[in-house]
């Protein structure tokens, strides 16, 4: 017959016996060492899951869109749209496309207009032939750029790409106009 009191109440020797093996169980280093590289690899793969690579032998013609960060080492012709993600054109990448992304990092070659909601960064040996529209633009020494830059902030309405906003003479209009960056980067207005 089963008695509840006997099954619930632990005897004094039982707690003492498991305490010593529990303290000894985490100590073995040889068993823990092989798991460390695997754990590191698992963490890297989780981080890199949201990054996609297009190899240098890959050629894509048409529209390319997605919701992951993308690195292109191959050739893409057409349109690239990653509005909420980072696009990296690797050193072997050759792009002939209209590009729309959150941030664009250029190490290779881009022919076409580049629009980024945060930043365009042309690194050493990177090349852009086309207009850039982004609130922040960085061009490294040794990089190539041919085109125009529009650095108006998002939601600031006004000039279309390639056009500068005309300055109003002082005293006209109701409210003062904030300074506007022109294509040369000089401030216009008061």
- How crowded is residue 90: how many other Cβ atoms within 10 Å of its Cβ? 18
Residue 100 lies in a domain: yes
Contact 72, 55 (CB under 8 A): no
Total domain count for the chain?
1
Q: What does the pLDDT read at residue 153?
A: 72
Residue 6 lies in a domain: no
Mean pLDDT, the chain, rounded, equals 74
Distances (CA, A) of 129 to 38, 135, 146: 44, 18, 5
Mean pLDDT computed over 53-74? 94
Residue 188 lies in a domain: no
Residue 12 lies in a domain: no
Residue 90 lies in a domain: yes
In which domain, by residue range, is 116 found?
A: 47-145
Residue 27 lies in a domain: no
Q: What does the pLDDT read at residue 152?
A: 80
Mean pLDDT computed over 90-104? 97
Question: In the predicted model, is pLDDT for residue 120 greater than 80?
Answer: yes
Residue 2 lies in a domain: no
**Which structure tokens are listed for 154?**
């998002």
Residue 160 lies in a domain: no
**Total-model pTM:** 0.58
| pLDDT band per the 50, 70, 90 thresholds, residue 97 | very high
Q: What does the pLDDT read at residue 77?
A: 97
């Amino acid at each position: 017959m089963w008695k509840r009191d006997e099954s619930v109440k632990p005897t004094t020797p039982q707690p003492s016996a498991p305490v010593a093996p529990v303290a000894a169980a985490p100590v073995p280093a040889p068993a823990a060492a092989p798991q460390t590289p695997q754990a590191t690899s698992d963490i890297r793969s989780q981080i890199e899951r949201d990054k996609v690579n297009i190899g240098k032998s890959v050629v894509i013609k048409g529209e390319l869109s997605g919701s992951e960060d993308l690195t292109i080492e191959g050739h893409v012709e057409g349109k690239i749209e990653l509005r909420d993600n980072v696009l990296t054109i690797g050193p072997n990448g050759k792009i002939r496309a209209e590009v729309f992304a959150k941030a664009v990092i250029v190490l290779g070659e881009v022919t076409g207009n580049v629009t980024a909601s945060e930043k365009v960064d042309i690194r050493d040996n990177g090349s852009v032939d086309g207009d850039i529209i982004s609130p922040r633009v960085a061009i490294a020494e040794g990089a190539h750029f041919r085109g125009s830059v529009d650095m108006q902030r998002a939601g600031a309405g006004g000039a279309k790409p390639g056009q500068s906003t005309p300055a109003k003479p002082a005293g006209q209009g109701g409210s003062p106009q904030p300074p506007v960056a022109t294509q040369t980067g000089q401030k216009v207005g008061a």
